[in-house]
Amino acid sequence: MKITLELNETSRTIDCAVHESLLTVLRREGMASVRFGSNSGETGAGAVLLDGKLASSEVVLAAQANGHAVTTVESLNVDERLHPIQAAFAATGAMQSGYSVGAMVLGTLALLRTDPDPSENTIRDMLSGILDRETAYVKPVAAVQQAAAVLRGEEAEPFRPLMVAPITDGIHPVDHDPDDPPPTGSPAVPRVVPSRDVPTTTVVGHPEVKVDALRLVKGNPAFTDDFDMRGLLYAKVLLSPHAHARIISIDDSAARALPGVHAVIHHENVPRIKYASGGQSYPNPRPYDQVSFDNKVRHVGDRVAAVAADTVEIAQEACSLIEVTWEVLPAVFDELEALSGDAPVIHDETDTIDIADPSRNLVHHIVAERGDVDAALSAADHYYEQTFRVHQVQQCPIEPHISVAWLDSDERLVVRTATQVPFHTRRMLAPLVGREIKDIRIIKPRIGGGFGAKQEMLLEDIVAHLAIATRRPVRLELTREEEFIASRTRHPQTMTYRTGVNGDGTLVAQELQLIGNTGPYGTHGYTVQSVSGLRGLTSYNAPNKRFDCEVAYTNIPVPGAYRGYGAPQALFGLECHMEDIAADLGFDPIEFRRQNWAKTGDELTIAPHLGERAVVDGELDQYPVVGSDGIEECVAQGSRAIGWHRRYDRSWREPAGSRHIRRGIGYAHAMHGTSIPYLDMGGCSIKLNDDGSFNMLVGATDLGTGADTVLGQIAAEVLGVPLDDIRVYSSDTDMTPFDTGAYASSTTYISGTAAMKAAEVVRKRLKERAAMLLEVPIPCSIELRDRRAYAPDGRSVSMEEIALDSLHLNEHEQIMGTGSHVSPECPPPFGATFVEIELDLETGQVEVKQMVMAVDCGVAINPVTASGQVEGGMLQALGYAHCEEFALDENGRMLNAAFGPYWIYRADEMPRTDVFLVQTMEDSGPFGAKAVAEIPKDGLAPALRNAIVNATGVRIDQLPFTPERVFNALQKS
Amino acid sequence: MPRAISYHRPGSVHDAISLLVNNDHLPLAGGTVLNADDDPTLVSFVDLQECGLANIDEVGSRLRLGAMLTLHDLTTDSRVPVGLANAARAELPSTLRTLATIGGTVATRHADSVLLAALLVYEACVTVAGPNEESVVPLAELLHNGVDKGHLVVALDVETSGTCVRHATSRTPADTPIVSATARATDESAWLALTGVAAHPVLANPKDPTTDIAPIGDFRGSAEYRRRLSKILSSRALAEARKFA
């Protein structure tokens, strides 16, 4: 049918199918800013203005829009400049991946037309239809406010950090002063607590606008699905309806006969090559318990077959025509039952090796011990044992998994894919498709959020097989339901802490017994549980420690990497356990922790014995030592911001006139890590251009975190140029240096040091060339700043002059440098998390009123992106603690595989969120940086639980704190 | 989306109904439910946007709301009682509220709809057009029986007086309530509606709210928990509504 739209104020007559959505048609018409989030429209990623009102185009038939005005962000892109709304979103750092920023800009446009000075509530209501897993909506609200001010003709205040005076000397605690007010102003503004140890810098430490801001706020093509391919085919995967079943036979004849179908693949026509899908360093942790298509399925959503066809609809129909004869097997979902010995055996095949005990579904048994835990526990003055259960949740990137594969003109396999690990993917894909690594190219464009879900080779082998089979480009994108059941999730665990404490409050022994649930496949099962042990046993000093962990196969949707990677689970148990011990012994909860927490100079004695490169046997000559910590300042800033003293005031906890309401404030301590020592590696190359600018190629994978910006700032600082002179490109396995990928809180620290090293190589040569031009005998006396090279006597040449001389005039050379870095260290960032709640005693409903997190991440290279990272992490952590949860029926089918039933926080319900960046100088990091990405996930769940304890005295040792769970706990008490 | 094989945009209710009597024809209002459905059944859509059903009219003491009014319209028109406007805002987020219609909400009969609960306490009556006649039925009755094939919700009329209050328990403040109680009180009387306790929102007896309800539990709340919530929340909502009536 033909429809006519007033599209961005131009009448357009468009051919479309009756069933096509407005989103599909707009994207086909080149409106790349309109993006897919789900078929039901509640993500808002595809929102447009329909007759001036913000509306999700996914749930509008194109035919419905016939005769109406449709506005997309492209309407604002009249020239190179940014519209004031776009400029405000860029200036305030109101986007990370920017996948949905187009919708936010449009919503702002519509709102400000009717309400030039909207209240914060009105802004949040506008944003309520645009889900965001990355910003916690803090900076988007500020962006709307700034845009409104500008459009009212007011001058926008520069968006720069608020420097907050330290409260402590960085070492000693101070008493919390209830009369000392916290800093005022918008929580969106990064609040930085400076350290005297940090030298002054020009670009580093400044709130530079993200290097990809322009393309994101303009909605320009940036993401995997934004680039057209001639002759593209569409893939769909037939997913298992059974949690555990054997495929007796598969008949694809009807599917193949369907017009428009080009290939059907399944276990009978795809080679059986064993692999593990987790995107990890060579050699991937075993067991290799997966194949592209198997004759057995092990969870609802497991792969059965895949189809490539002319359209998604044909591919879907073809999937429905594949006849599978099943032998349905009994299934098991709980990790304790799976290990009982009576459970169905999930991996009974003979070609998977290195499963610890297949007959018990035991994948791994991990043990690490320092000292003599049993003896110390027996001798301790006090002994505590406590068991916790943590649940399954999903990363929920708003951009679902998507991959496109094709054969290029040299018939090499190219895959453009939303991945956090392009180089691992290339290496892991090669054997599956029978090609050498040199014949595969992985391109990582912008990614609409990953959070670990995309640290996986999930779709790439399917599109590669289909592209090779059809010799056509093939695209595969997951629906939201598929994203829930067929991608990756967080590992559920059952954990028991056993702790011995002396009468003075000193820990003498601590053990973590953990049963991890890795679902049907190992993927990250070994490493996530190892990190649970690592994080769960290093926050506090104790001479005797033991980690004893069993990892179980079950039939739940597959767990994998999720931001925090085992730490949020372990620290939930640990921080609840420490809270309860403190209460039982009559200690102040923070003081008890302080007495035991690891701080500068303390050895981390069990750390080297856990993880991918664990020292399994024997002792080390030297153990890692904490090199810097800002935890005292974090606690002081956080205590002041939350009003910690109120938790001791009964009249506040039990407000008059609200008989059924209780209030509480909880705290949790967090110590995380920065990268994986001796393993994570990053590379960078930098070259000088004719105009004195630089191209910087990095293998690091910016997921929206701002990594490209941060790495550019590091290079700019070294080279004495503004960030705008560094053009950052990432990542493409043909073009950019190797990088292990975006995980383990490593990019700023590892790839940032690689960038610094590459820049230092270039700087050295720039100085030598400048010395030649300036006739200065000692090149190292040259100083680079303000795009110029200065001699000690003040004479200077510009970068452009150096570039033109070296490229065109004298002793011709390309000035360039490379750097790579791997670290023997893993400096811990620290965090203090505080949560204030109100709890309804009669219903069990918990409402979070405020969250505060003060983070020591060393030097924040970019305080805007760093504080944004913390805010986004806290939003995800809040969901983990409070409302997000996989609900499976007795057959393993997910009951809530959609946003809504699976609830993630919206803008109009977020509690106040305050972030403080407490500077310390970490000597091993670039310009003093440590990690910031994952630690925001660690403390919120236990802080919320401890707030419930403060409010009611009731201890709940299972997540999440949904109303009925809390209600039942209150009833039991 | 369902596989639409044809699309019609009739210019009147009469024309719409003449199409809807065909078995495979479905009325398309805002589309937030129908277009989000991935049922591959082949259907023909009858888009109601040009049927002239988007008016608000004051009729005596009652307000007549056209079926194609969007939830966004309800939140912005000052004639709409605050209790209804608030319920419309709570029903859906901003990007869906501009599409979803009041008629579609009624026809869908979602068990957790706080807007339907608000309409119940505002004594909503639904005008349903059929091939031969228009009829007016109380909303409670329509929610129980559904809309017959070939019939169309064309309008609702509601009372506008009194104070309306909603109390709810949910996982988070904006989440769809596990159970909600909406009460409306005037000087003379009170009305109470519950969500989350039956297959669709129901009117409850203000004097004994849990009589005749048999909640079905799910992963968000067991049947027993829902029953308990309905008692607590009803009590709170009625007390507050009466206090400010």
Tokens 């006969």 sit on residue = A257
Lookup: tokens for A591: 């003081």
Point out the residue among B1, B94, B178 whose CB comes nearest to the CB of A126: B94
Whether residue A70 lies inside any domain: the answer is yes
pLDDT of residue B160: 96
Q: Please tell me whether residues A509 and A569 are part of one structural domain.
A: yes
Prior bond to A589 cis, omega within 30?
no
Q: Give A13: exposed, middle or buried? Use CB within 10 Å, 0-12, 13-18, 19+.
A: exposed
B239 in contact with A, Cβ within 8 Å: no
What is the distance in angstroms between the Cα of B162 and the nearest Cα belonging to chain A? Answer: 25
Quick: pLDDT tens for A821-838: 999 889 999 999 999 999
Average pLDDT, chain B: 96
Q: Please tell me whether residues A730 and A804 are part of one structural domain.
A: yes
pLDDT of residue B112: 97
B218: chain A residues, CB-CB within 8 Å: 887, 895
Q: Please tell me whether residues A578 and A505 are part of one structural domain.
A: yes
What's the one-letter identity of residue A409?
S
Q: Cβ separation of A59 and B32 shorter than 8 Å?
A: yes
Q: Cβ separation of A58 and B6 shorter than 8 Å?
A: no
**Which is it for the CA torsion B172, B174, B175, B178, positive or negative?**
positive
For residue A788, give Cα distances in angstroms to A687, A798, A815: 16, 4, 15
- Nearest C-alpha in A relative to B48: A64
Q: Please tell me whether residues A970 and A931 are part of one structural domain.
A: yes
Whether residue A565 lies inside any domain: the answer is yes
B2: chain A residues, CB-CB within 8 Å: 19
Compute the distance between CA of residue B118 and CA of residue B114 in angstroms, rounded to an integer: 6
| Greater model confidence, A622 or A758 | A758
pLDDT of residue A558: 98
pLDDT-derived band of residue A792, with 50, 70 and 90 as boundaries? very high
Q: What would the mean pLDDT of A642-648 be, rounded to a whole number?
A: 97
**Which is it for the CA torsion B219, B223, B228, B230, positive or negative?**
positive
B144 in contact with A, Cβ within 8 Å: no
Q: Cβ separation of B31 and A60 shorter than 8 Å?
A: yes
pLDDT of residue A933: 93
Quick: pLDDT tens for A539-589: 999 999 999 999 999 999 999 999 999 999 999 999 999 999 999 999 999
Number of C-beta neighbours around residue B149 at 10 A: 12
Contacts 24+ apart (CB under 8 A), B221-228: B221/A963, B221/A964, B221/B178, B221/B179, B221/B196, B222/A964, B225/A963, B225/A964, B225/A967, B225/B178, B226/B178, B226/B179, B226/B196, B226/B197, B227/B197
pLDDT of residue B2: 64
Whether residue A718 lies inside any domain: the answer is yes
Whether residue A415 lies inside any domain: the answer is yes
Q: Cβ separation of A962 and B220 shorter than 8 Å?
A: yes
Q: Please tell me whether residues A357 and A425 are part of one structural domain.
A: no
Point out the residue among B7, B171, B174 whose CB comes nearest to the CB of A61: B7
What is the distance in angstroms between the Cα of B146 and the nearest Cα belonging to chain A? Answer: 23
Compute the distance between CA of residue A455 and CA of residue A440 in angstroms, rounded to an integer: 18
- Nearest C-alpha in B relative to A103: B95
Q: What would the mean pLDDT of A733-753 be, rounded to a whole number?
A: 93
* Structural domain ending residue among the three candidates A20, A48, A76: A76
Nearest to A266 by CA among A323, A223, A209, A216: A323
Strands A474-477 and A440-443: unpaired
Compute the distance between CA of residue A745 and CA of residue A576 in angstroms, rounded to an integer: 24
Whether residue A110 lies inside any domain: the answer is no
pLDDT of residue A911: 98
For residue A879, give Cα distances in angstroms to A132, A136, A472, A941: 12, 11, 41, 9
Quick: pLDDT tens for A139-169: 999 999 999 999 999 988 889 999 999 999 9
B225: chain A residues, CB-CB within 8 Å: 963-964, 967
CATH classification of the domain holding A181: 3.30.365.10
Lookup: tokens for B224: 């027993």
Point out the residue among B3, B178, B219 whose CB comes nearest to the CB of A963: B178
Helix (H, G, I), strand (E, B), or coil: what is residue A648? Answer: helix
Whether residue A738 lies inside any domain: the answer is yes
CATH classification of the domain holding A68: 3.10.20.30
The sheet with strand B56-59 has its strands ordered as B56-59, B62-66, B152-159, B125-129, B134-138
Quick: pLDDT tens for A72-126: 999 999 999 999 999 999 999 999 999 999 999 999 999 999 999 999 999 999 9
Whether residue A364 lies inside any domain: the answer is yes
For residue B1, give Cα distances in angstroms to A32, A761, B10: 21, 56, 21
Residues 6+ positions from A947 with CB-CB distance below 8 Å = A664, A665, A666, A835, A836, A837
Point out the residue among B36, B49, B92 whose CB comes nearest to the CB of A64: B49
pLDDT of residue B1: 61
Q: Please tell me whether residues A651 and A508 are part of one structural domain.
A: no
Quick: pLDDT tens for B180-218: 999 999 999 999 999 999 999 999 999 999 988 999 999
* Structural domain ending residue among the three candidates A76, A107, A125: A76
Compute the distance between CA of residue A602 and CA of residue A625 in angstroms, rounded to an integer: 5
Q: Cβ separation of A54 and B173 shorter than 8 Å?
A: no
Q: Please tell me whether residues A174 and A233 are part of one structural domain.
A: no
The sheet with strand A47-50 has its strands ordered as A10-15, A2-7, A69-71, A47-50, A53-56
Lookup: tokens for A675: 């990268």
Q: Please tell me whether residues A315 and A239 are part of one structural domain.
A: yes
Whether residue A114 lies inside any domain: the answer is no
Tokens 């924040």 sit on residue = A860
Q: Cβ separation of A66 and B221 shorter than 8 Å?
A: no
Q: Please tell me whether residues A741 and A690 are part of one structural domain.
A: yes
Answer for the pair A335, A552: CB distance below 8 angstroms, yes or no: yes
Q: Please tell me whether residues A508 and A360 are part of one structural domain.
A: yes
Helix (H, G, I), strand (E, B), or coil: what is residue A349? Answer: coil
B166 in contact with A, Cβ within 8 Å: no
Q: Cβ separation of A845 and B169 shorter than 8 Å?
A: yes
Q: Which residue range forms the structural domain that includes residue A260?
A: 225-329+401-484
Q: Please tell me whether residues A527 and A639 are part of one structural domain.
A: no
Compute the distance between CA of residue A205 and CA of residue A186 in angstroms, rounded to an integer: 20
Q: Which of A9-23, B1-15, B224-238 has the lowest mean pLDDT?
A: B1-15
Average pLDDT, chain A: 96
What's the one-letter identity of residue A140?
P
Q: Give A809: exposed, middle or buried? Use CB within 10 Å, 0-12, 13-18, 19+.
A: exposed
pLDDT of residue A619: 80
Quick: pLDDT tens for A375-428: 999 999 999 999 999 999 999 999 999 999 999 999 999 999 999 999 999 999
What is the distance in angstroms between the Cα of A49 and the nearest Cα belonging to chain B? Answer: 9
Q: List domains and CATH numbers for chain B.
A: 3-47 (3.30.43), 56-159 (3.30.465.10), 163-244 (3.30.390.50)
Point out the residue among A56, A64, A903 whose CB comes nearest to the CB of B96: A56
Query: In this predicted complex, what is the ipTM?
Result: 0.97
A127: chain B residues, CB-CB within 8 Å: 94
Q: Please tell me whether residues A300 and A428 are part of one structural domain.
A: yes
What is the distance in angstroms between the Cα of A29 and the nearest Cα belonging to chain B? Answer: 20
What is the distance in angstroms between the Cα of A46 and the nearest Cα belonging to chain B? Answer: 9
The sheet with strand A788-790 has its strands ordered as A783-785, A788-790, A796-798
* Structural domain ending residue among the three candidates A426, A459, A484: A484
Bridge partners (DSSP) of residue A726 are: A694
Residue A778 backbone dihedrals phi, psi, to 5 degrees: -115, 100
Q: What would the mean pLDDT of A740-754 be, rounded to a whole number?
A: 91
**In total, how many domains does chain A have?**
5
Quick: pLDDT tens for A909-944: 999 999 999 999 999 999 999 999 999 999 999 999
Q: What would the mean pLDDT of A749-757 be, rounded to a whole number?
A: 97
SS (H, E, C) A822-878: ECCCCCCCEEEEEEEEEEECCCCCEEEEEEEEEEECECCCCHHHHHHHHHHHHHHHH
Q: Cβ separation of A909 and B173 shorter than 8 Å?
A: yes
